[in-house]
Amino acid sequence: MLLPTHLAAGQAAYLAACLATGHAPGLDESLIAIMAAALPDLDCRAGIVGRMAPPLSGWLERRFGHRTFTHSLILQVIAGAGLFYILPWGFFLALIAGWLSHTFTDMMTPAGVGWFWPSRVRCVLPGNERYRMKPMGWGELLFLIFIGFTGVLLHWLSVDNAGTTGVIRAAIGSLVTAREDYDAQKGGSSWFLRVEGRNNRTFQPIDGKYQVIGGYKESGFILEASTGPVSACKTESCDWYISHAVLVRGKTINTKTQSIRIGSTTADELAVRLAPWMAAGAVYLSGSFEARGIRPDPPTVETTGTEGVTLHYTSGTWLKNQGSLYMRNLDITVQLRTRGDELPDNVSISEENDTCLHPLLAKWVEETGKACQ
């Protein structure tokens, strides 16, 4: 096979591996796949790759012969076993996929490959020589065009869907399986949900693509709609009823979380502490606390009893709008989602609050500043 055919096949093999494993492809990994698809031809000093390193390629060709040692299964297994523990998963996937693609495309030529080297058995694909491709022939040209179009399709599928099962589930459109995929892969990417369904309040269709804020209850989602966060599930209890759902991967992001457990503080004090997080990206709050006068705003803010408050991926801007709200028994998780590489430091907050007192205590204390809301 010619070098362009190997490069195209290596890229297609890498994208197919990304699709099969649910791994998001990257440009740097694609370059590794291309290099891995070319390097086995170091054992041919007359080839393009061999001419780049003549001493090494000459020695390999004299010592082992062409399409033997560098194309062999034993070398791929030994090298792969070692590199699995050294390389990041994406780079390992790209290297192995590109390398194996070179071997299998060379099997499609009349001479085949000594894949089981040091055995002299030559592996070919297919078995009938009439259907194997001659280098620089029309068969190879048509194969190159086919593999090029296949690579484009695989890129779209691997970027837009969560693995091979994601492609199948996209056709089925199950909300439950979309939630399972989201729970398994959330954190490294932003996610969207392409849905078909209706608004449970107005009965109007809500078909479209919406950003996922987080999971909701057992099998639902909280989605970012034009009117704000909405709950989406397959029951009448949510804002939206979903009949068909497809999970779509967005851009790569960094996620940082921190748990905050504190006896008492105020909303503005906590907002000040979280200011560096809010400046770095989108901040969401989940957990519970006690406070008076909180107006429920489902699905992100729910109240229980007289003072119980539960947050479900509530935006950090909600906290900034609460002013000097007095918060007790705070047990929340703060989550930052950002596309930046630098993450802010953890939040440090004290229970000491000199700016205000609980409303029930303020009237009993002399020279108090003011009561918390």
Structure tokens belonging to residue 188: 């490294």
The answer to whether the Cα torsion of 191, 197, 202, 208 is positive or negative is positive
Q: Is residue 370 part of a domain?
A: no
Q: Containing domain of residue 108, as a range?
A: 3-160
Exposed e or buried b per residue across 182-192, where buried means at least 16 C-beta atoms within 10 angstroms of its C-beta: beebeeebbbb
Same domain, 8 and 47: yes
Exposed e or buried b per residue across 216-254, where buried means at least 16 C-beta atoms within 10 angstroms of its C-beta: beebbbbbbbeeebbbbbbeeebbbbbebbbbbbeeebb
pLDDT given at position 360: 57
Residues of the chain whose pLDDT is less than 70? 159-172, 350-373
Of 159, 182, 137, nearest to 26 by C-alpha is 159
Same domain, 229 and 336: no
pLDDT given at position 353: 46
Same domain, 155 and 42: yes
Of 367, 277, 285, 275, nearest to 327 by C-alpha is 285
CB distance 331 to 288 below 8 Å = yes
pLDDT given at position 168: 60
Same domain, 142 and 282: no
pLDDT given at position 282: 93
Q: Is residue 259 part of a domain?
A: yes
> What's the pLDDT tens digit per position in 269-315?
999 999 999 999 999 999 999 998 898 999 999 998 888 999 999 99
pLDDT given at position 211: 95
pLDDT given at position 124: 86
Rounded Cα distance, 42 and 348, in Å: 56
The answer to whether the predicted template modeling score (pTM) of the entire model surpasses 0.85 is no
Number of domains in the chain: 3
Phi-psi domain of 352 (left: phi exceeds 0; alpha: psi -120 through 50; beta: other): beta
CB distance 235 to 222 below 8 Å = no
Q: Is residue 97 part of a domain?
A: yes
User: Radius of gyration over alpha carbons of the chain, in Å?
Assistant: 29
Domain boundary among 233, 252, 271: 252
Rounded Cα distance, 126 and 139, in Å: 13
> What is the crossing angle of helices 138-160 and 3-21, to 10°?
30
DSSP letter, residue 48? H
Same domain, 177 and 304: no
- For residue 303, give the amino acid letter: T
Domain boundary among 129, 160, 191: 160
Same domain, 173 and 244: yes
Rounded Cα distance, 247 and 262, in Å: 36
Domain boundary among 236, 252, 268: 252
